[in-house]
Copies of this chain bind each other. A is one copy, B any other.
Amino acid sequence: MARKTKAEAEQTRHRIIECARMVFNRSGVNNTSLEEVAHAANVTRGAVYWHFKNKADLFQAVRAQTGRLLKLNSSSTGDALQRLQSGLLNALHRLESDAEARATFEVMLWKCEYVGEFTAVRNDLMKSGQDFLDEVTALYSEAHKNKILRPDVVPEIAGLETFFFFTGLLKIWLTTDNRSAIHRQTVAAIESHIATKRAESIHKKTH
């Protein structure tokens, strides 16, 4: 076959990543051969090995393409707790609407053995987890400063709690068969998670 244009090569690379995500999600990362990925992408292993060093490298690319789920510092308004809540709800909404992101997280949380070459991937994952924790903690600190956080709630601890909570939520939500069936309860759990941390001051709008 002829050499491809630079743009075509980039297309090929993207196709490999997308197909890798699909196949990983179907068969698991370790259980998937690069031959399967190549076949799904209509190329040979040669192409895969040209674009990526090995499977772990490919998996990192899959991860990188999806990126972070939570974006707290974006458009949303309101006090710190409201911003945190809508950040969490937005993340959930992205998972619901973005099938690719969902697949990526499904692979990361249920279809990958973090061992050997993949411990590096896990460290990466934990690093973005630490970022999540930092951002959430910062929001709780702001809430504390503004007296809208319950006085007996420590920002650092609350941040950790939310980190645990959302990690588990993702893990469980992703493996639930009928996700739309638990949508309402999941949203309610998020709202309740935040609401119970809010100081009981004068009359406040919950909604």
Within 8 A of B (CB), among A158-194: 158, 160-161, 163-172, 175, 185-186, 188-189, 192-193
Contacts of A170 in B (CB 8 A): 168
Q: How many residues of A contact B (CB 8 A)?
A: 46
Query: Is A1 part of the contact surface with B, judged by Cβ < 8 Å?
Result: no
Query: Is A30 part of the contact surface with B, judged by Cβ < 8 Å?
Result: yes
Contacts of A165 in B (CB 8 A): 161, 164-165, 168
Interface stretch among A65-73, A96-104, A110-118? A110-118
Interface stretch among A40-48, A79-87, A195-203? A195-203
B172 and A28 form a contact (CB under 8 A): no
- Neighbour of A189 across the interface among B114, B157, B167, B195, CB < 8 A: B157
Query: Is A16 part of the contact surface with B, judged by Cβ < 8 Å?
Result: no
- Neighbour of A188 across the interface among B154, B189, B200, CB < 8 A: B154
A157 and B188 form a contact (CB under 8 A): yes
- Neighbour of A168 across the interface among B30, B111, B164, CB < 8 A: B164
Contacts of A111 in B (CB 8 A): 113-115
Contacts of A154 in B (CB 8 A): 188, 192
Contacts of A150 in B (CB 8 A): 196
Q: A28-B30, A196-B196 are in contact. Are A110 and B114 (CB under 8 A)?
A: yes
CB distance from A13 to the nearest CB of B (A): 25
CB distance from A21 to the nearest CB of B (A): 14
- Neighbour of A115 across the interface among B31, B116, B152, B164, CB < 8 A: B31
A113 and B161 form a contact (CB under 8 A): no
Query: Is A39 part of the contact surface with B, judged by Cβ < 8 Å?
Result: no
Query: Is A135 part of the contact surface with B, judged by Cβ < 8 Å?
Result: no
Query: Is A120 part of the contact surface with B, judged by Cβ < 8 Å?
Result: no
- Neighbour of A113 across the interface among B29, B126, B172, CB < 8 A: B29
Which chain B residue shows the least CB distance to A113?
Answer: B28
